[in-house]
Amino acid sequence: MQRKWQDDRIARLKAEKSALEDKVGGFGVENRELEEREGKYKLKIEILEQSLAEKKTTRKSNNSAEKRLEETKKKIAEMVDLVGGRGPLRNQPKAQRPRPRDLLAALSTKEFYINDDEHDTDVQWLTGEKEELEERVETLEARVKALVSGITDLKNRLSEREYEIELLEQALAEEKKRQKGGVDAEQRLGEMKEKLAELFG
């Protein structure tokens, strides 16, 4: 009866061990998937940071372009005043006056319109996107940490089940030895009874 209980107990423990192993394996797969997603998010954050840096560089370049544009506008106004016989340039010596080709060079500049509002909107959107991705990465990191902790706990429980199975199997082996020893003793006792019967028969 006790042996049957032990056999049933070992079978249940082995089934539980198998289920725990499956669960650990499943957590491992989910952990790898989360780590892959985390890696993709971090890569996207790097790309966004690079884009932000480029936007800031563009803004700095735009500021320089604005200065050049103002200088160009000023030169154009001076040229117009000069051609129209107005402004301070008409009193300057001819050699110091701007040449007509300066006007053409000024008109050929490409930075006549800079959309700062659109640029600022882009930077705000990129910053918001980066912050949102960072939050998602933090969430994923927390989930990965929880999964790792869960896997560790399951492995500990698995070790406990393996140890319990080992103890029960040892107990069964000892029980079998005792049972075998009992059979041998009964056989010897029977032989002794037969000899006594022969002697005193």
Q: What angle is formed at CA 147 by the lines to CA 146 and CA 151, rounded to 5 degrees? A: 120
Give start and end residues of each alpha helix (H) in the chain: 2-83, 100-107, 116-200
Residues 158-166 have a mean pLDDT of: 76
Which tens digit of pLDDT belongs to each residue from 117-145?
Answer: 555 555 566 666 667 777 777 777 777 77
C-alpha span between 191 and 128 (Å, rounded): 94
When pLDDT is cut at 50, 70 and 90, the band that residue 114 belongs to is very low
Using DSSP's 3-state secondary structure scheme, residue 58 falls into helix
Chain mean pLDDT for the chain: 65
Reply yes or no on whether the pLDDT at 113 is more than 50.
no
Write out 13-39 in H/E/C secondary structure.
HHHHHHHHHHHHHHHHHHHHHHHHHHH
Higher pLDDT, 70 or 168: 168
| Coil, strand or helix at 181 | helix
pTM: 0.38
How confident is residue 50, by pLDDT bands cut at 50, 70 and 90?
confident
From residue 93, alpha-carbon distances to 13, 73, 105 in Å are 106, 22, 22
- Per-residue model confidence (pLDDT) at position 121: 59
